[in-house]
Structure 1
């Protein structure tokens, strides 16, 4: 989210663009576009309020996990806006899910560790705070964050966007597009930069395939959480 209290002009431009996209979706009366806007609009507002208001990251994270989903579910009560695909379903365990999930966690953790050792990025503030705690408590903090943060990411990318893009352009295009958007969203994340976008994009593609193969969002969420815990624990030990 390119929202920065110290860059008011850029933040205002991003806000205006977001509003125009939501208005455009309503004018077009595309059910897929309106459903996406019903989730993405409140999501952007929650991040904007939390960042500009300098709220604690934990409060902002919980807000973006609850309010956008509530708005989408309320919108879905209207017959014309009911999801074109069952994006918010649990799904089932497929034969390849365990080994594919394990391979994803191991490879992503190894790639992130190598990137961190080479680039040596400045740790985020919450990571620096966790590093001051005993290792056991720090890992518990990482686990708590890992359980919550993937909620909105999976709902947005493997839920709303994948389902709505698939309803318009088909599943193959949807998997690729959501992966590209997932990678772009990590430009300033961990990992960051162009390499970070590519790494996150590949990861998003695999999670998208898991979502389609399992028929639900649970498998991709579990893999996402597990990878975040492993990566977060490695970050505490490496980024000092």
Structure 2
């Protein structure tokens, strides 16, 4: 009875947000509303646990969107992707085994990240198309919402298996070698920065690839003129939240479940490549895939997420510092 009440509440919330989305024009607000709608429909599908029931419930909940006077492609494509995501969540929830992480959990998390990004992009099409670099509120919404989304996906996976606390304790446990792991992470972060800078330079000069940076401080120069809370929030999102969520998903869940089954070599390559693909920037696919492979090996050698998370955070921090020093 309690599950039914929660499902009904989520269904109502999804409908309200869908109707709000159909009548919102501000790009920043659209990002928040669209993400809230995705979270609500995903949670609804998780509770229902049946793909067809989830698809039907989401279809009805988003009636306010597909009956709205926006362009047909906008009002149908977005609900369709939401239904696909809901069906996948319901299917995964039904087949996930209690207490046991499997490779499909990591693949599922990656697909969810991609689908949420597609949904947010489609939601922005409802209003006036606008570039991230020319709209500071939209840029802030995009970069501040992405890490929490990753954390929600990670918590959903670990929570469904009932292993949130054991997983965190096992992978982030502070022991006598804690400081050595931190030192290793800092050193490997510097190594990653050097390797990726080298690879980007080779792509640009030898391969003549026009590199498109993922760093918001590079392609949105207006950010450097905003100090205080805005800068702090962006740095926390990029340097703290994103590394923690991505290391849990791509190292702890995906790579950690792949290597006992596929062997070290294939696990390192596949998990690293998926990590590169998750950033959805083909010009940086090879450098970021190599970074993912380095992080996989760090996790494999230490059996701890502390050094890989520190290395990831160090690399992101150095990227922000370099961007700010050049632009200033």
TM-score calculated relative to the size of structure 1: 0.67
Greater helix content: 2
> Do the aligned partners of residues 237 and 17 (structure 1) sit closer, same or farther apart at CA in structure 2, a change above 3 Å counting?
farther
Deviations 1:73-132 (A, max 9, x none): 321228xxx99x989612654596554443223443565578789947478766333222
1:221 to 299, 309, 317: 309
State the match for 1:184 in structure 2: 277
> Do the aligned partners of residues 121 and 65 (structure 1) sit closer, same or farther apart at CA in structure 2, a change above 3 Å counting?
closer
State the match for 1:143 in structure 2: 235
SS at match of 2:226: coil
How many residue pairs match? The answer is 227
State the match for 1:35 in structure 2: 105
> Do the aligned partners of residues 237 and 119 (structure 1) sit closer, same or farther apart at CA in structure 2, a change above 3 Å counting?
farther
- For 1:29 and 1:104, how far apart are their aligned partners in 2? 34
State the match for 1:155 in structure 2: 248
- For 2:262 and 2:213, how far apart are their aligned partners in 1? 40
- Report whether the alignment pairs 1:66 with 2:66: no
- Report whether the alignment pairs 1:76 with 2:161: yes
**Runs of at least 5 residues in structure 1 that lack an aligned partner in the other structure:** 1-5
> Do the aligned partners of residues 88 and 59 (structure 1) sit closer, same or farther apart at CA in structure 2, a change above 3 Å counting?
farther
- Aligned pairs for 1:226-237 (under 5 A) are 226-237=314-325
- The answer as to whether partners of 1:151 and 1:221 remain within 8 angstroms in 2 is yes
- The answer as to whether partners of 1:179 and 1:203 remain within 8 angstroms in 2 is yes
Q: Residue 224 of structure 1: CA displacement?
A: 0.9
**Runs of at least 5 residues in structure 2 that lack an aligned partner in the other structure:** 1-70, 125-137
- For 1:158 and 1:128, how far apart are their aligned partners in 2? 33
State the match for 2:53 in structure 1: none
State the match for 1:3 in structure 2: none
RMSD, aligned CA? 4.5
TM-score calculated relative to the size of structure 2: 0.52
SS at match of 1:129: helix
In terms of mean alpha carbon deviation, does 146-155 or 40-49 score higher?
40-49
Q: Which has the larger radius of gyration?
A: 2
- Aligned pairs for 1:109-148 (under 5 A) are 109=197, 119=210, 121=212, 127-133=220-226, 140=232, 143-144=235-236, 145-148=238-241
- The answer as to whether partners of 1:142 and 1:229 remain within 8 angstroms in 2 is no
| Structure of greater relative contact order (alpha carbons < 8 Å, 6+ residues apart) | 1
